[in-house]
Amino acid sequence: MHDAPAGRPKRRGAMFKVRVVKSMYDQSERYVGQVGEVIGHWGPDNSESGREGHMVQFADGTVVGLADDEVEPVTGEE
């Protein structure tokens, strides 16, 4: 397993949760403050701008791509 960038969880294979702390795009605006489950990852190899991030599924079933700087890891039972 490769080391994750600073501030990013190292759990590539396991599902984990993140909270949306800011929105850079319209599709994620309504999820600011909400917690979702990370179900996948995207990186420079499949992003025009070379950014990295997570595919996050929310309680309503919607999946949104969020950059690393839009989320923070959730610890414990939130």
Q: What is the CATH number of the domain that holds 27?
A: 2.30.30
Instruction: Show the domain range for 30.
Output: 16-73
Q: pLDDT band at 71, cuts 50/70/90?
A: very high
Whole-number Å distance between alpha carbons of 57 and 69: 17
Q: How far is CA 68 from CA 5, 13, 15, 72, in A?
A: 9, 17, 16, 8
Residue 11 lies in a domain: no
Residues in CB range of 63: below 8 A, 6 or more apart:
39, 55, 56, 57
Residue 78 lies in a domain: no
Q: Residue 65's beta-bridge partner residues?
A: 55
In a domain, 42, yes or no: yes
pTM of the model: 0.73
pLDDT for 2 equals 40
pLDDT of residue 7 exceeding 70, the answer is: no
How many structural domains does the chain have? Answer: 1
Q: Mean of the per-residue pLDDT values for the chain?
A: 81
Q: Does the residue 1 lie in any domain? A: no
* pLDDT bucket at 46, cuts 50 / 70 / 90: low
